[in-house]
Amino acid sequence: MKEPGVRRGASQPPEAYLEVAVAAPLEQTLTYKLPQDQAPLAEPGKRVLVPMGRRRVTGYILGPAPKPEGFKARSILDILDELPLFPEAMVPLFRWLADYYIYPLGLTIKESLPSGVNHLELAMVKITPEGEKALEAGQANLKEQRFLEILLTAGATAQNQLLKKAGKGASVSTILTMQRKGFVEIHRVMQKGRVRSKTETYIKALKEQSDAPARQKSRHKILEILPKDGDMTMRALKKEVPSAPRWIWEMEEAGEIQVFEKEVYRDPFGEPIPPDETRFTLTSEQEVAYTEIVGALGRGYKSILLHGVTGSGKTEVYLRCVEKALEQGLSVIVLVPEIALISQMQRRFLARFGEKVAVLHSGLTDGERLDQWMRIVRGQAPIALGARSSIFAPVKNPGLVIVDEEHDESYKQDSRLRYQARDLAVMRCHMEKAVTVLGSATPSISSRHNCANGKFQKISIKNRVAERPFPEVTLVDLRNTTTGQNRSLLTDVLKHHLTETLAKNEQALLFLNRRGFANFPVCLECGGTITCAHCDVSLTYHQEDGCFQCHYCGFCQDITKGCPSCGSRKLKMMGMGTEKVEDSLRSMFPQAIIGRLDRDTAAKKGGLVSVLKGLREKTTDIVVGTQMITKGHDFPNITLVGVVCADLSMGFPDFRAGERTFQLLAQVAGRAGRGEKPGRVVLQTYNPEHFCITTACANDYDAFCNEELKFRHQLKYPPFARLAQIRFTGEDSKETGAFANSIGEECRKLLWAEKAFKNSVQVLGPIPSPIARIARMHRWQMLLKGLDHKAFRAYLRQVNRIIQSKAGAKGPTAVIDVDPVNML
């Protein structure tokens, strides 16, 4: 070791070290030596291949690191990217994220990058001649024989595949032992990351006429079709001249055309979106919002809650603001709720900004997603638009981040890194001195509270565009309907309005937030309910597929088998879903054309498109749907909205049930009368006096909030307290309970470790989860409440320690869900 400060020569720069977050569950980052020859290529945001223990793993360069003390740094093996996958400015954001959601930094970064860039190291196992001999001579034991036989027939196999094929009882150590004996060879290879971008063959005309003989018709036709200046894809040319592939090489040789490959941006939607430069005149309220937002651009951090009623034209305000941001050289991120198909918002952004928008849509393949990502990295697309994960878009100088429908729960990721993209948007803007705009007709209680305490500025748009009135709401009390058995839940009032709407040749929407035919089938013979074999829930009957389905694990059972416990065919289909409503409608209005929009119809190829088309082209009269219809699409011809049962979302053991109900009702009611004709809403409920229902009916957001905030304050729920849910899962019921209880006990003990804990932290539970078993996994949960932010953070970190120390490689697991949304 040379002495510090002593330089080996004038030309020798000091040794350089990098701080690397490896894609492994480590709490700390690691320091690696940067070899001289790689030094010019090393940049924060690039992936590196590094040695770690006996393996090689991918890591992410965070920046330079100080000279290591107390350990020897190993050298990085390779730099994997030409361009950084994220800008350096995002490093502090990742650190904050990893800390806040208690998730390893390297895995946090991995989660934020598009899948498809993640290199995987594979251990390839190959049989040796000695191994073959040993197998023949019977020198291998039973377990070894099984492996060797597989290897003999299948050839070199990845270790994890091999273990799967060998089945139960197969272990890594057997393979390693065989390696020691010389029966097999193991070498490590990097699995190809699907990193190549897509190119397409293009043809360009160089001459106007071909010298070829006239009988070669296609050859002349090709030159006719090719544009005089500019190029054409081979694919497009083939449509006009099917024999084109046969001619182009000869034609290129003759100097008539040029053939070349060009990188293309896959159109995620199939159909091209024509540019639309129309700018609607802003209403005075829209103008105020626009001026406020634009005035804040480029002047540091600010968060604005744009509370605009349904149909108030928030999108137009967004478009104008984005335009202004681009003029100032700022880039933009637009977050939209996760939906199955391209939304109105995406369509309008693409129409207005075209190629400048990178769409990170959930329907993209890994390759397509990566294309869009790299366009942002290269600075070709200053606007990133997409669902939750788009908050990680690698834009360099974000000036504006828009979160549309900010109350939507799809902004919370419910696995692994359990982040809330709306909160992260605010944090990213805070760090990068940008403006966040949170838009919604029904803002979350949390955002509304942040306005009250001055963290956000509130801007309201109280009127709809074109002075369209709000729909008139009729409340139907389901407790005293006289519709006989009332089985279908389509009351006389609703029927009356449906008839009227159909007579006027207008469209109606019926909302019921539950898919399937019946969610509570019971057996009349044995009296049992029909439940899932793997989960503690009842199965839902799906008429269309003729089976009982579990909505949690996907388990499916044929109806023809009858009751699972007694085999009886006498089943009563209790409870109702969209399929049943559709059924009743068909018998009630046999002449009407009825569509259905839920996860089942959307899952079928083209199903969603055909329903939306039917609504747009007025070929559908009535559409029945789940909350799916409240999201992302405009139906200007709908004049009647019927809420079949408003109470469904209210019964959950979840402190947000009320908020969810209000938002859903207000959103679905807002679907009525979006076009020129005024709308009407018929709302059926068993709880006509409940404040969620009455305030939703009156479209009185403030009244709802005041009442809800009172309740939250009393019971110390967010926004007046912080929450974290510890979730325990395990295959064995007893073991899971014992595990949960032992961690619970430790957490209670921990309260006494610091005065601040005792004073401000509450441990509730652990208890078995409301759904105590899903997909054979038993579930427990424990709720942690904190009244003091700082103390709660410190407490959670300690809880994580406890979990780490108690959890084994096998057996039950525990995860921390910070700011939980799904409480079930």
480 contributes a contact to DNA by CB under 7 A: no
Amino acid at 621: D
Closer residue to DNA in complex, CB, 57/628: 57
Q: How many CB atoms lie within 10 A of CB 522?
A: 19
Q: In whole angstroms, how close is the CB of 417 to DNA at the nearest point? A: 13
**Residue 534, interface with Zn ion (CB under 5 A)?**
yes
Part in contact with Zn ion (CB under 5 A); list of ranges 269-277, 486-494, 502-510, 519-527: 519-527
Minimum distance from residue 187 beta carbon to DNA (Å)? 12
Taking CB under 7 A as the criterion, the residue among 2, 8, 54, 734 binding DNA is: 54
Alpha-carbon dihedral angle through residues 787, 793, 798, 801, given to the nearest 10 degrees = 140
Least separation in angstroms between CB 558 and Zn ion? 15
Binding status of residue 33 toward DNA by CB under 7 A: yes
Q: Which is nearer to Zn ion, 315 or 736 (CB)?
A: 736
Annotated binding site for Zn(2+): 523, 526, 532, 535, 550, 553, 563, 566
- Spatial separation of the C-alpha atoms in residues 402 and 387, rounded to whole Å: 11
Q: How far apart are CA 336 and CA 344, in angstroms?
A: 10
* 3-state SS, residue 437: strand
CA distance 667 to 701: 11
74 forms part of the interface with DNA (CB under 7 A): yes
Contact in structure between 512 and 665 (CB atoms under 8 Å): no
| 172 lines the binding site for DNA (CB under 7 A) | yes
Among 7, 55, 455, 801, binds DNA (CB under 7 A): 55
Four-point Cα dihedral 6, 9, 13, 19, nearest 10: -40
Q: Do 308 and 460 contact (CB within 8 A), yes or no?
A: yes
Angstrom CA distances, 153 to 78, 137, 146, 166, 688, stand at: 35, 17, 11, 13, 69
Residues in Cβ contact with 272 at an 8 Å cutoff, skipping those fewer than 6 apart:
none
Complete DSSP assignment for 283-331: PHHHHHHHHHHHHHTTSS-EEEEEEE-TTS-HHHHHHHHHHHHHHTT-E
> 313-325 burial by CB neighbour count: b if 16+ within 10 A, else e?
bbbbbbbbbbebb
CA separation for the pair 131, 776 (Å, rounded):
40
> How far apart are alpha carbons 409 and 420 in whole angstroms?
9
What long-range pairs does 766-771 form, CB within 8 A, spacing at least 24? 766/726, 766/728, 766/740, 766/741, 768/737, 769/727, 769/824, 770/652, 770/653, 770/823, 770/824, 771/535, 771/536, 771/537, 771/552, 771/824
Residue 575's binding partner out of Zn ion, DNA, none, with CB under 5 to 8 Å set by partner kind: none
- Write down the least CB distance from residue 415 to Zn ion, Å: 18
Among 28, 568, 619, 706, binds Zn ion (CB under 5 A): 568
**Quick check: 698 binds Zn ion (CB under 5 A)?**
no
CA distances from 363 to 269, 392, 417, 732 (A): 9, 17, 21, 36
- What's the CA gap between 118 and 134, in Å, rounded? 38
Query: Cβ–Cβ contacts within 10 Å for residue 480, how many?
Result: 7
Paired with 599 in beta bridges are none
x/- binding map, residues 350-389, to Zn ion, per CB under 5 A? ----------------------------------------
Site string for DNA, 784-813 (x = CB under 7 A): ------------------------xxx---
Residue 39 within binding range of Zn ion, rule CB under 5 A: no
Which residue's CB is nearer to DNA, number 360 or number 816?
816
Among 35, 43, 49, 73, binds DNA (CB under 7 A): 73
Residue 171 touching DNA (CB under 7 A): yes
Residue 820: CB partners within 8 Å, gap ≥ 6? 418, 723, 724, 725
User: Residue 172 or 824: which CB sits closer to DNA?
Assistant: 172
Backbone phi and psi for residue 126, each to the nearest 5 degrees, phi listed first: -130, 140
Candidate residues 72, 168, 192, 215; the one interacting with DNA per rule CB under 7 A? 72
Residue 53 touches which member of DNA, Zn ion, none, C-beta under 5-8 Å by kind: DNA
Smallest separation, CB 531 to Zn ion (Å): 9
Q: Is 754 helix (H, G, I), strand (E, B) or coil?
A: coil
By the rule CB under 5 A, 608 interacts with Zn ion: no
532 binds Zn ion (CB under 5 A): yes
Please choose, out of 131-139, 173-181, 730-738, 783-791, the segment that lies near DNA by the rule CB under 7 A.
173-181
Min separation Cβ 160 and DNA, Å = 8
Compute the least distance from the CB of residue 115 to DNA, in Å.
16
**Residue 361 in contact with residue 388, Cβ under 8 Å?**
no
Stretch that binds Zn ion, among 12-20, 399-407, 518-526, 681-689 (CB under 5 A): 518-526
534 interacts with, out of DNA, Zn ion, none, CB within 5 to 8 A per kind: Zn ion
189 binds DNA (CB under 7 A): no
Q: Which does 568 bind (CB under 5 to 8 A by kind): DNA, Zn ion, none?
A: Zn ion
Judged by CB under 7 A, how many residues of this single chain contact DNA?
33
Which residue ranges are tagged as binding site?
523, 526, 532, 535, 550, 553, 563, 566
Stretch that binds Zn ion, among 340-348, 444-452, 517-525, 678-686 (CB under 5 A): 517-525
Separation of alpha carbons 696 and 344, rounded Å: 25
| Residue 26 contacts which entry, DNA, Zn ion, none (Cβ below 5-8 A, type-dependent) | DNA
Strands 472-477 and 680-685: parallel
Residue from 95, 143, 690, 793 in contact with DNA (CB under 7 A):
143
Residues binding DNA (CB under 7 A): 24-26, 28, 30-33, 50-55, 68, 71-74, 123, 141, 143, 159, 169, 171-174, 176-177, 808-810
Which residues contribute to the site for Zn ion (CB under 5 A)?
523, 525-526, 532, 534-535, 550, 552-553, 555, 563, 565-566, 568
